[in-house]
Amino acid sequence: MAIGSSYMQRTQTAGNRKTWTVSMWVKRCDVDTQQCLMSVEDGAAYVLWKFNASEYFEWRGETGAARFITNRVFRDCGAWYHIVVACDTTESVEADRFKIYINGVQETSFGTETYPTLNSDTYVNKSGGILRVGSDEVPGSYFNGNMSWVQLVDGTALDATSFGEVDSTSGIWKIKTSCYGTPGTNGFCLKMEDRTNLDLDTSSNAHTFTTTGTITPTTDNPSNNFCTMNSNVANRSGFTWVYGNNKVTTAGSAGSGSTMGIMGGKWYYEVYIDTLGNFYGGWQDLSNLEADVNEFVPRGAVCMNNTPDIYYNGSGSAVSTGYKGVSSVAASGYYGFAFDVPNLKCWWSENGQWYTANSGTASTLTRAEVTSNTSGFDCTTASTMSSSSIIGPFMGCSTSATTNSFNFGNGVFGTTALTGTTYTDDNDQGVFKYEPPDGFRALCTKNIKAYGG
């Protein structure tokens, strides 16, 4: 689920304040502000799990108590992090009283490293303490990103292997998709899988949580990571990112890439234009990610704009081809973007209608004609794209501000989840408003592993 300026909470009853474990899977969005993943508040005192404004992970106990700040930063917006914090103040050895694991590996290097005293009580599991997921104690400093499988185990200190494991094929740390069996008095398991009941506790306790604000459901999850726009690849001063980096506003001359790229296969994504402005959207050769970030069409990109003309950039300056990608572009419209990597051809659709790129007037195409590779725009004649390129989605803006909500198969535009008739790709992945052409797929790790080159 995408948190944004929202949170879930419940009031704790008396539990084990000395021994507990918290496990959560999180995917960051914007990275240059303090963002709290969880908190426990009791009057003037509080406990925080957070990424601080310097991008370190920090656990902060109540005033004068334990505090840990990592030496390494966490600024990857394209991946899920698994964070486990385990506490047992009854341990005689100081270093055994508090442990932090990131993606299955225990953190041992800290800029701040203050352990709890022997047999001390934390505010976790304190009667009357308010536990919040997605916010600090105010509440405020909300977590701007995605969360999944948030668990508290009351009364047991566990390592990361209770919640994750190494994939035997890829060697990647992956989630164990089952709730911990003995959660203890205050323990809970928020899978966040039920799109109509995101704060459902599926542990044996079935605690009731209250949600404040709008929490957005998404198909993006630790088992199948979906593409988003990339807040680390842009002229940051001109951009704002919300809802898991899938709603983006930019003003001024700037462009931004995405978190995933492909070297094979056929791919599809959708954009809802909230505010038209000077919109540019399409595909980019990701080898040029850092080149020309102040260009509204970065080097190696092919896109359509609000005219709607097709633009490209092969040498550091954007040029119009004089071709029309769709019949028109307007706010509140839905636009589809399809790319055939082996043939380096792309297509655009408007509210489900596909178009061929023609000079002067765009001509309609059927979905079947896109499937059969008819009349796609040849990217090799208009950009630096080649058979060795890594291709990914792109957006930009020249002057007037534009706001766009992206759906890479996540199943949501901004805060609006798709309902009614929806579509998956032919690998049964993603949730789309319009049916992708046959063979064109959602940008997610399961598809990229199978088809991404």
> What are the tens digits of pLDDT across the range 62-108?
765 799 999 999 999 999 999 999 999 999 999 999 999 999 999 99
Count CB atoms within 10 A of the CB of residue 92: 8
* pLDDT over threshold 80, residue 195: no
Distance CA 398, CA 91 (A): 59
Domain for residue 1, yes or no?
no
**Percentage, residues of the chain above pLDDT 90:** 63
CA angle 65, 143, 43 (to 5 degrees): 40
Domain for residue 355, yes or no?
yes
* pLDDT over threshold 90, residue 58: yes
Look at residue 31 in the predicted model and tell me its pLDDT: 80
What tens digit of pLDDT does each residue of 182-191 get?
999 999 999 9
Same domain, 188 and 283: no
* Stretch 17-26: mean pLDDT: 97
* CA distances for 62 relative to 37, 65, 231, angstroms: 16, 5, 32
Contacts of 309-318 with C-beta under 8 Å, sequence gap 24+, read 310/357, 310/377, 310/382, 311/280, 312/379, 312/382, 312/383, 313/383, 314/382, 314/383, 314/384, 316/291, 316/292
* Stretch 437-449: mean pLDDT: 95
What tens digit of pLDDT does each residue of 227-285 get?
999 888 766 667 788 888 899 888 777 778 889 999 999 999 999 999 999 899 999 88
Same domain, 197 and 278: no
Domain for residue 227, yes or no?
no
Same domain, 306 and 167: no
Same domain, 350 and 274: yes
Q: What is the CATH number of the domain that holds 317?
A: 2.60.120.920
pLDDT band at 365 (very low <50, low <70, confident <90, very high): very high
What tens digit of pLDDT does each residue of 333-352 get?
999 999 999 999 999 999 99
Q: Which of 426, 411, 21 is nearest to 183 (CA)?
A: 21
pLDDT band at 383 (very low <50, low <70, confident <90, very high): low
pTM exceeds cut of 0.75: yes
Domain for residue 222, yes or no?
no
CB 284 within 8 A of CB 392: yes
| Token code pair at residue 289 | 């990610």
Same domain, 111 and 259: no
Number of domains in the chain: 2
Domain for residue 359, yes or no?
yes
Same domain, 444 and 335: yes
Q: Which of 395, 404, 452 is nearest to 429 (CA)?
A: 452
Place of tokens 């899938």: 246
Domain for residue 76, yes or no?
yes
Domain for residue 87, yes or no?
yes
Same domain, 305 and 364: yes
Same domain, 68 and 132: yes
| Burial tier of 361 (Cβ tally within 10 Å: 0-12, 13-18, 19+) | exposed
| Token code pair at residue 377 | 């725009």
* pLDDT over threshold 90, residue 148: yes
Same domain, 198 and 281: no
Size of the chain in residues: 453
Distance CA 192, CA 410 (A): 14
Same domain, 207 and 242: no
* pLDDT over threshold 90, residue 140: no
Q: Beta partners for 280?
A: 305, 396
Same domain, 255 and 160: no
* CA distances for 387 relative to 264, 267, 325, 341, 453, angstroms: 9, 16, 23, 8, 11
The pLDDT mean for the chain works out to 90
Look at residue 384 in the predicted model and tell me its pLDDT: 73
Distance CA 145, CA 137 (A): 18
Which residue type does 433 have?
K
* Stretch 392-396: mean pLDDT: 89
Better-predicted residue by pLDDT, 383 or 178: 178
Same domain, 392 and 287: yes
pLDDT band at 3 (very low <50, low <70, confident <90, very high): low
Q: What is the CATH number of the domain that holds 68?
A: 2.60.120.200
pLDDT band at 321 (very low <50, low <70, confident <90, very high): confident
* Domain extent at residue 422: 236-451
Single out the residue in 173, 197, 212 at which a domain terminates.
Answer: 212
* pLDDT over threshold 70, residue 205: yes
CA angle 27, 233, 442 (to 5 degrees): 60
Contacts of 341 (CB under 8 A, 6+ apart): 262, 263, 264, 265, 266, 267, 391, 453
Look at residue 380 in the predicted model and tell me its pLDDT: 83
Domain for residue 231, yes or no?
no
